[in-house]
Structure 1
Amino acid sequence: MWLSKNFRFSVLSSIAKFPPFLPIHNSLFCSHSQTSLNDEAVSQFNRLLHKRHVPPIFEFGKILGFLVRMKRYPTAISLIKEMELKGILCDHANLNLLINCFCHLDKLAFAFSVFAKILKRGYHPDAITLNTLMRGLCDKGEVKEAFNLHDKVIALGFRFNHITYAILINGLSKIGETEAAIKLLRSIQGRSAEAMEAKVV
């Protein structure tokens, strides 16, 4: 980080003395703070990467998760590539993060290649994996493909959750298929009611 601790402290002390009506939370200040945090995250990741004894994979995942939350998708992708080049294989959670990054960057082909990698490595796709892919397809307007994925996954024995169907309903609404969205919603509500009745019985 290029600002010294003393300088940062003096800046923050000065800001604390500003009258409350001044717009101190401006985009420049926030932008600098985010950039500093991102730089720190990348530095920490590189320190982990070059340790003599490889740290647990979740240590890398914590940093990658932070970068994804900060919407630094290209940075996260680059670091994951570095990690795997070092022979450190991503676990399921980190592969989910990678899918998330590619979906946000509209690189669905890459997202599905990561999905194939998840299956190849013997991981069981979870709701996060599947919902991320579904959202990626729906956000791009490829709702038909999202339903095709849904059908294929159901046929393989995997199950979706209520978030999945909310994504599909939202996707249908976005492309103007309101009637289909309402029909799907009512179908889900009907199944939920049946499930509740079954529990009571």
Structure 2
Amino acid sequence: MIKGFCDVGDLVEASKVWNLMVDEGFQPDIDAVEKMMETHFKINRYDEALKLFQMTRTMRIDDLGLSTYRLVIDWMCKRDKTAQAYLMFEEMHERGIQVDNLTLASLIYGLLVRGRVREAYRVVGGIERLDISVYHVLIKGLLRLRRASEATQVFREMIKKGCEPTMHTYIMSLQGHLGKRGRKGTVTLMNFETIFVGGLVKAGKSLEVTKYVERRYRKGLEVPRFDYNNFLHYYSNEEGVVMFEEVAKKLREVGSVDLAEIFERYGLRMAMSDRR
């Protein structure tokens, strides 16, 4: 019941059930504790979540495992409490709890978004076996710092190490390269506004083009948000293989090597999928 109320964001009812259990002499299990903490974190009641963690830590530390520490460390890093997060890592080590890559990924991303790139790379360097969770936070963090070229180098490295990019990897990478700059970029191939208007013209929708241009200049209307997810799924076929190869070729011609490589790799993935 506690988890159910937390799922719908009703902490009042969840707390009532919690108190009733305690009054009746029952002890909420760790799953319920984590759910309460997570809900507090999500609604920006950070101190309340930590208070619950500290209480559980004091009274039932033997019940705390990897999942609880991971949850706390993740939110500490989101709140720029990396010093506290490091203390949690030390406690895990002292208690013999093996830190997994997902937990380290939270720390890496927390460091990156605050510009502590060298420190983030030091953490990465200490990981014995990198996996998709670590590569993803590296790419995401570097893109957020507008270091798209460096993020693409990580993309290359993960492939070289045999870690296959997922659809999320491609979407994240394209968003990083084609974000606001892409929507109004000077290069036609990467300017969504040009593509949008050009598409309407090719479809013979001149009236829609006129309306869009009028609204664009009178009210500052922007081109509709580009849906990377639908775009990649729509072209995940033989037609897409050819299209991605052609796009990659043209992007290289205008000097967008990093972006070209992402499209090229996705086209290769589709080609290999078709052969299977």
Give the TM interval when normalised to the shorter protein. Answer: 0.5 to 0.7
Write out per-residue CA displacement over residues 140-166 of structure 1, whole angstroms, 9 at most, x where no aligned residue.
221221110011222xxxx33212112
User: Structure 2 length as normaliser, TM-score?
Assistant: 0.49
Change (3 A) 1:164 1:86: same
Cross-structure match for 2:110? 136
The offset of 1:97, in angstroms, is 1.3
| 1:127 corresponds to | 101
| Corresponding residue for residue 27 of structure 1 | none
Map of 1:174 onto structure 2: 144
CA-based RMSD of the aligned residues comes to 2.8
AA partner of residue 72 (structure 2)? L
Is residue 76–residue 101 contact of structure 1 (8 Å, CA) maintained in 2? no
| Counterpart in the other structure of 2:125 | 151
Q: Which has the larger radius of gyration?
A: 2
Alpha-carbon separation, structure 1, partners of 2:111 and 2:152: 20
> Aligned to 1:63, which of 30, 33, 36?
36
> Which has the bigger relative contact order, CA under 8 A and spacing at least 6?
1
Matched to 1:75, the amino acid is: E
The one-letter amino acid of 2:35's match is K
CA 1:55–1:42 in structure 2 vs 1: closer, same or farther (change >3 Å)? closer
Equivalent position of 1:78 in the other structure = 51
Write the mapping of 1:26-65 to structure 2, written as runs, cut at 5 A.
34=9, 37-48=10-21, 52=25, 54-65=27-38
Give per-residue Cα distances to partners, 1:65-115, cap 9 Å, x unaligned: 333344433221111112223344422211111112211221110011111
The question of whether the paired residues in 1 share the 8 Å contact of 2:77 and 2:85 is answered with yes
- Determine which of 89, 103, 106 is the counterpart of 2:80: 106
- Counterpart residue number, 1:14: none
- Structure 1 letter corresponding to 2:139: I
TM (norm. structure 1) is 0.65
Where do 5+ consecutive residues of structure 2 fail to align? 1-7, 165-276
CA distance in 1, matches of 2:111, 2:19: 33
* CA distance 1:87–1:189, shift in 2 (3 Å): closer
Identity rate, percent? 26
CA distance in 2, matches of 1:95, 1:49: 23
1:45–1:63 Cα contact (<8 Å) kept: no
**How far apart, CA to CA, are the structure 1 residues paired with 2:87 and 2:114?**
17
- SS of residue matched to 2:126: helix
Count of matched residue positions in the alignment of Structure 1 and Structure 2: 157
2:124 & 2:163 partners in 1: Cα distance? 22
SS in structure 1 at match of 2:96: coil
Would you say the 8 A contact 1:68–1:97 is kept in 2?
A: no
